[in-house]
Amino acid sequence: MNVKKMKTYCGVCGKETEQEEVKDEIAPGVYVRSTRCTVCGEEWTSHEELEGAKNELRKLGYTRLRRKLGKVGEALVLRIPKDIQEQMGLREGDYVDLYTTKDEVRVKVKVAQRR
């Protein structure tokens, strides 16, 4: 994350703040610049920036899908919809890799080569 600071008033909390410009990698090689209020922590992104990121994702062949985590016992469960299972040839027992940093978990499901 790349940070550049500038002093102004927050559009959300109305307090004088040093707004930070933050750059997040939303997919490998795709970045979105947002502004974050250092007082309330609220982040916002311009329409142009979001459209640019969407075009970049499309160009690289990414499709983003937001899923809600479920719970089974003590574990959180990520459900993969049936159409994606079928499209990608995923099966029960396939392995999923979780790449974790202090504030993010990326999920990677590599489709196994099967006969």
Judged by CB, which is closer to Zn ion: 18, or 51? 18
Q: Is 1 in the site for Zn ion (CB under 5 A)?
A: no
User: Could you say whether residue 40 binds Zn ion (CB under 5 A)?
Assistant: yes
How far does Cα 72 stand from its chain's mean position?
Answer: 24
- Residue 10's Cβ-count burial label (10 Å; 0-12, 13-18, 19+) is buried
With a CB cutoff of 8 Å and minimum separation 6, the contacts of 2 are 21, 22, 23
Residue selected from 12, 50, 84, 107 as contacting Zn ion according to rule CB under 5 A: 12
Task: Pick between residue 10 and residue 32 the one whose CB is nearest to Zn ion.
Answer: 10
Closer residue to Zn ion in complex, CB, 13/88:
13
* Region binding Zn ion by CB under 5 A among candidate stretches 12-20, 51-59, 81-89, 104-112: 12-20
Considering CB under 5 A, how many residues would be counted as binding Zn ion? 6
Pairing of strands 43-44, 30-36: antiparallel
